[in-house]
Chains A and B, each alone.
Chain A
Amino acid sequence: MTNKTVLHEKHLEAGAKMVDFHGWEMPINYGSQMEEHHAVRKDAGMFDVSHMTIVDVAGSDAKAYLRRLVINDVAKLDVAGKALYTGMCNEQGGVIDDLIIYFFSDTEYRLVVNSATREKDLAWMNQQAQGFDITITERPEFGMIAVQGPQAKAKVATILTAEQTQAVDGMKPFFGVQAGNLFIATTGYTGENGYEIVVPQEQAADLWQQLIDAGVAPCGLGARDTLRLEAGMNLYGLDMDETVSPLAANMAWTISWEPEERNFIGREVLAAQREAGNQPKLVGLVMTDKGVLRTGLKVVTDSGEGVITSGTFSPTLQHSIAMARVPRSVKVGDEVEVEMRKKLVKVKVVKPSFVRNGKSQLD
């Protein structure tokens, strides 16, 4: 069965090319993925992300439950609206999913998880809920639109009410606020400023149209992928999955080791891996020669083989970039080789962050 978001009609209206994305019929582009990419880097673009799963966790044990469920510590959150990026792991320390948690109070949190992992995430969350006084409520009655780019906030501002404008005024990155009918968050998946806006389904098409009228370019999943890769952000299923440790997926920063007594799921295994220092790591690769690094290509280094987890042509940098999982002893600045079309091609190892706020992060 194919799911359609509440904006499906709007995509067809705009001439989108639709593809199946894990059971959802989604726009891959509206003509040119490249132009959509540049719109986000230089102006403002928007994505229908209504397929993503919103889950509200509430109840007297909500905080205790999440401190067990995810590898980061929600106890760090003490300002209403603050968001936290993290992962939830299984007992073997493999990543079940990555997610964003919004904090409203110690008894109210909102989680946004991937659509491709929706069923297993909900099953896991419910299974782990035993013994905690909480409710887990999926919120399919909302659509979600990500508006991203240097002009995104200014363009969104033209369609907000005075009350909403006041609510988002001066909001720092990685916060969310309920402003009238909209939940507006300063989060995203592009490396640009902007908002992710949660909107009641029946108002989603109108909001989309208002944004088009305000000069925001509709962008598809194609541009979403090149933008997130340039920003060095992981894609679940490619850069990590249940067989991969967060330590091997550039997610160590999302683990809170302190306090030591917090017994999050997977802690024992992850602590042992950290102690042993034997996990591979996720690095960035840059290739300035012709060609495009692609998912699955073999990486050859002096200390053993690795693999490209995500690769693409970077429309901003005009050459290919990739994320690759390689032996831990490989260092930023090293030269390694990638096997492409039966030839070994030299590429440079960099930090897995290529473009932020429209600017190259490479030297």
Chain B
Amino acid sequence: MSNIPSELKYATSHEWVRNEGDGIVTVGITEHAQDLLGDMVFVELPEVGENVSTGDDVAVAESVKAASDIYAPVSGEIVEVNEDLEDSPELVNSDAFGDGWLFKVKLDDESELEALLDAEGYASSIDED
């Protein structure tokens, strides 16, 4: 079983969301997702300043095996992207919940977080895969 930190929120499409507390969340893909994809070779990130809506395909994680769309788990404005991934896409593999984060979103509506899965909900969603 992969590691699924209990303090994070999750989307069924394998993104995690960390509430940074000031209306801003950090988004990445789960350890389970990186394990399915295998060694990452490119990560295409959104532009800072872009407005995204929940469910939009906003980024692409391209591994040796496949290219996979990453969806915005919440709506808002992209305020920061992880530029380290430009040179080190493997951070997504080695530290999916930490240094491998993808982008930060300034939330349009904080209540959207409540619609996301908790760790337990995500764990059971990947059991069904």
Contacts and interface: CB of A to CB of B under 8 A. Distances in A.
B83 to A, nearest CB: 14
A33 B38 contact: yes
B52 to A, nearest CB: 18
Given A33-B64, A34-B90, A222-B64, A292 B39 contact: no
B39 A34 contact: yes
Interface in B25-53: 38-39, 41-42, 44
B75 interface: no
A313 B41 contact: yes
A226 B64 CA distance: 9
A29 interface: yes
Interface string A22-34: 0000001100111
Interface in A307-362: 312-313, 315, 341
A290 interface: yes
* Size bin of chain B's contact surface: 10 to 19
B62 A292 contact: yes
B38 A292 contact: no
Nearest to A32: B39
A32 B35 CA distance: 10
A237 interface: no
B115 interface: no
Contacts of A291: 42, 62, 67
A291 B61 CA distance: 10
Contacts of A29: 38
Nearest to A289: B42
Contact of B39 (A33, A290, A294, A341): A33
A315 B63 CA distance: 11
B44 A292 contact: no
B90 A292 contact: no
A313 B39 CA distance: 10
Nearest to B38: A33
Given A29-B38, A32-B39, A33-B39, A312 B64 contact: yes
Contact of B67 (A28, A292, A312, A315): A292
A325 B122 CA distance: 43
Contacts of A290: 42, 44, 62
Contact of A32 (B41, B44, B65, B93): B93
A261 B87 CA distance: 59
Contacts of A33: 38-39, 64
Nearest to A33: B39
A34 B92 CA distance: 14
A130 to B, nearest CB: 44
Contacts of B42: 290-292, 313
A56 B65 CA distance: 36
Contacts of B44: 290
Interface string A278-297: 00000000000011101000
Contacts of B41: 292, 313
B77 to A, nearest CB: 24
A99 B55 CA distance: 48
Which of B41, B44, B66 has the most chain A CB within a 10 Å cutoff?
B41
Contacts of A32: 39, 93
B72 to A, nearest CB: 18
B124 to A, nearest CB: 23
A29 B36 CA distance: 12
A32 B62 CA distance: 15
Interface string A62-99: 00000000000000000000000000000000000000
A4 B112 CA distance: 48
Which of B39, B42, B62, B93 has the most chain A CB within a 10 Å cutoff?
B39
9 contacts: A33-B64, A222-B65, A291-B67, A292-B64, A312-B64, A313-B42, A313-B62, A315-B64, A341-B67
Q: Which 3 A-B pairs have CB atoms at the shortest separation, nearest pair first?
A: A313-B41, A34-B39, A290-B42
Interface of B: 38-39, 41-42, 44, 62, 64-67, 90, 93
